[in-house]
Amino acid sequence: MTRTIQVQWNLRQVMADRGLFQTSELRPLLEERGIQLTREHVYRLVTKTPQRLNTEVLVALCDALGCTPTDLITPVVAEQKQAKTGTTGEGGPKIGQLRPIRAKVRRPDGVGE
């Protein structure tokens, strides 16, 4: 099994808990803390999980919303089973043990008489 760790981004939920329901309400709060982001960047920050996040932005979000980084970011561990390929040796014969079966060729009824 393979373990992958993904991030659950909870900014929208934390905003809703604080009574902020529009992304445009977040921008002035960040500007008060010296973070200048475009309207589009704030929208993407709220609606999508960021691949990279500046620590200054994270600290400003936590300060503006009165939360901690663990409120905004939740790690999610996903267990994935590896696909069976036939060469792993799990169940059934191994590739080296497979042998062809001789075919029996028969004439159809009535042909060649």
Q: Does the pLDDT at position 10 exceed 70?
A: yes
For range 102-110, the mean pLDDT: 82
**Token pair of 7 as six digits:** 């991030």
Report the predicted TM-score, pTM, of the whole model to 2 decimal places: 0.66
Band (pLDDT 50/70/90 cuts) for residue 91 is: low
- Going from N- to C-terminal start, the domains of the chain cover 2-80
Q: Could you give the CA distance from residue 14 to residue 8 in angstroms, rounded to a whole number?
A: 12
The string of pLDDT tens digits covering residues 15-38 is 999 999 999 999 999 999 999 999
| More confident of the two residues 86 and 21 | 21
Q: Does domain 2-80 have CATH number 3.30.470?
A: no
